[in-house]
Structure 1
């Protein structure tokens, strides 16, 4: 066990790193066929490689797919499992990530935060109750016209600063540590081309969570459904009794979805949903894309069967119209894997305690790279990064919470060494 007191560290650079990183536009594109979906994600990745090499990680490199890999060598004489820390460089296409101007609101005292480039964008205490825990903290926001990028450049900055501190403080005992930065997490492709053999880790932690002190070991299980409606196209001047508009059939399907259940607007906690998130087409052909979500994997088939029955009932009212119904697996609830490796969560929870926070085990109404990594053979819960109000102009993060996340990374590293 190291005699060095990690909690005495005060020479953090995480906020400064974060504010540099968010100014690099790394928005991913769900409609692109390339990987990564946008080349500009590599602009940040190349910078991260250079900075990792500067702090002494000689093997840091960027591969052809936009992944950053690096190794912090072990300084222990024990056989310690190899641990990976992972975050994603891309930001959500839901809101502009170009021209981000980070602003630090020093010594926050509970006031509403008016963002100067668009004063109509106000982060109000009553609408963001977690701000009540931030009195005296330095709150970082964007300027009102873009998202901030705390999802997940906060996680990136935290891992980078933890790597620097591990090299700067050799008294912190740890096994071999791997660093992985991924592209395209926001568009669901974050680990499509990751090389786990090259990574060589036994267990991992994503730094992609929200509130300080939280750690997540459960996600949705997720499928996608694409419904293709084949209509009957006739010149509208001669269409009576002949035309069957695929677009109108698609509209009927969406209109008949349940109004009081099974939608994101009407569910919370462990409740699943059936959500149409894209529609396109015309008279001859229309497509509707759905995302199907539930924490219980077996419920997905039930939701899909209900949706298929609804489609059949609607299509039956339009003679001659046909449809195709295709289900694709997206990711599965990582708890199914993590429950088989309880030590991963036990160490995460203890690390949070050691930084002086009360750990809170949470489930995510969504997914992370850790969902798919877990099922690829790398058990991977999700640790807080400190950001809030993701994917929009009101996104914010506390400098002090990011520093707590850095310390949590260091404690996770030392706990694996202690218990080896």
Structure 2
């Protein structure tokens, strides 16, 4: 089995130069539908757009009869990219791909899509028998895993699969944390900052004191917490009436996720409850609107699970030394696993993602394609 590396490079470049920021994946979806229909696939687009706000649904690409009687398997990539992602121009220097420097490259996650296209072309051209396979291309992964959360898992035939969505080379992600997103609105009372400051309640000051009570950063070997966004205030001469604080908690242990989330909630609430007006000038008191939004569930795959044993065998067959690691972030794989469908994450070689310095090597993309070939055949 031999991957056509230059064809892989060409498809990757084409994909990256089709703009597809989150909720605008339609052009990439149309390209993929046309391409896979020509390759003889069963192509299905779901109705998730009505729930995600995207201009297209998730794509299900099925090749049910490859002539090999093995357990069906699926591969997943997301079609969207983070910003800035308009007018991407791919630059190549030997093995290395970058953007022109003013946008992301889009290897997250189009390197995986390109590898899947090249794998199927190789299988068909070389008449290689392969197991039943489906490709699942999701929308809106970068803005909360919206596409995979909106799909109907009964549309998935396979009971195991792989998300192609990690940096590094020859890595298999077997675990990832659960996460809660947090929004907290501190509500004070507006007043003129120069004439009547004592009649106001400064929401920013209240929020700042509450945040100062928190444990943030790496909390233990399994957990992290962060306050990432603070917005509020109207003008420098107005005691701010409201401030919105946004953050997150992640943990590989559900118990710890709940404990650290409660730590933030209780610290914020106590600061509001303990507020006092020693001068007795304020009519009213502060308030807190605290919301917890479960972002994604924890993911853990035992080394003896079928999906790990399959990639382990495939890696051995091509002499690939795979590293089995635990990740610090969530992906579509977390949601697939929550549906009861085993899904590990495979690296594609992308580096410095979510930045205009994003890069990937052709050799890493080819290595990913070779591993996929081995999994299927």
Interval of TM-score (by shorter of Structure 1 and Structure 2):
0.7 to 0.9
SS of 2:148's equivalent in the other structure is: coil
- Counterpart check, 1:44 vs 2:25: no
Map residues 163-202 of structure 1 onto 2, 5 A cutoff. Answer: 163-170=120-127, 172-188=128-144, 189-202=146-159
Does the 8 Å contact 1:244/1:318 carry over to 2? no
Aligned residues of 1:218 and 1:363 also touching (Cα < 8 A): yes
Q: Which runs of 5+ in 2 are unaligned?
A: 50-56, 234-239, 277-284
The Cα of 1:340 is off from its aligned counterpart by 9.0
* Alignment check: 8 A CA contact 1:228 1:288 kept: yes
Asked if the contact 1:341/1:379 (under 8 Å) is kept, the reply is: no
Deviation (angstroms), 1:256: 4.0
Contact 2:219–2:225, Cα closer than 8 Å, also in 1? no
What residue in structure 2 maps to residue 3 of structure 1?
none
**Residue 345 of structure 2 corresponds to residue 382 of structure 1:** yes
State the partner residue of 1:158.
115
Number of residue pairs matched?
354
Q: Do the aligned partners of 1:219 and 1:367 also contact (CA within 8 Å) in 2? A: yes
Q: Which ranges of structure 1 fall in alignment gaps of 5 or more residues?
A: 1-5, 29-37, 107-137, 415-420
User: Per the alignment, do residues 11 and 243 of structure 1 end up closer, same or farther by CA in structure 2, a change over 3 Å counting?
Assistant: closer
TM-score (norm 2): 0.87
1:238 deviates by 5.1
Q: CA deviation at 1:278?
A: 2.3
Could you tell me how far apart the structure 1 residues matched to 2:340 and 2:196 are? Answer: 56
Rounded to whole Å, the distance in 2 between the matches of 1:215 and 1:277 is 29
C-alpha distance in structure 1 between counterparts of 2:303 and 2:323, whole Å? 20
Contact 1:185 1:368 in 2 (8 A): yes
What's 1:277 paired with?
228
The corresponding residue for 1:112 is none
Q: CA deviation at 1:354?
A: 2.8
Displacement of 1:223 in angstroms is 0.9
- Deviation, 1:9, is 4.2
- TM, length-normalised to structure 1: 0.79
Query: Which residue among 7, 17, 26 is the counterpart of 1:23?
Result: 17
Change (3 A) 1:9 1:233: closer
Find the aligned partners of 1:239 and 1:273 in 2 and give their Cα distance.
Answer: 41
The residue that corresponds to 2:45 in the other structure is 62
Match of 1:14 in 2: 8
8 Å contact kept, 1:12–1:403: no
More strand by share: 2
Rounded to whole Å, the distance in 2 between the matches of 1:100 and 1:355 is 34
Contact 2:3/2:369 (<8 A) preserved: no
Aligned residue runs from structure 1 range 280-295, under 5 A: 280-282=231-233, 283-295=240-252
SS at 1:328's partner residue? strand
Is the contact between residue 12 and residue 161 of structure 1 (CA under 8 Å) also seen in structure 2?
no
- C-alpha deviations, 1:114-155, integer Å up to 9, x for none? xxxxxxxxxxxxxxxxxxxxxxxx111112111111110101
Q: 1:372 to 1:24 in 2, by over 3 A?
A: same
Q: Tell me, yes or no, if the aligned pair for 1:276 and 1:290 is still in contact at 8 Å.
A: yes
| Partners of 1:360 and 1:299 in 2: CA distance | 27
Map 1:223-372; keep pairs closer than 5 Å. Answer: 223-236=180-193, 239-258=196-215, 262-263=216-217, 270-282=221-233, 283-319=240-276, 320-335=285-300, 338-339=301-302, 342-372=305-335
Aligned in 2, Cα 1:227/1:403: closer, same or farther, shift over 3 Å?
Answer: same
Q: Measured at CA, do residues 267 and 145 of structure 1 come closer, stay the same or move farther in structure 2, by a change above 3 Å?
A: farther
Return the alpha-carbon distance in structure 2 between the equivalents of residues 195 and 308 of structure 1.
Answer: 33
For 1:244 and 1:411, the matched residues in 2 are separated by 64
Q: Give deviations 1:248-283, integer Å, cap 9, x for gaps.
A: 22233334434xxx31xx579x44221112222333
Aligned 1:185-224 pairs, distance under 5 A:
185-188=141-144, 189-224=146-181
Q: Secondary structure at the match of 2:147?
A: coil
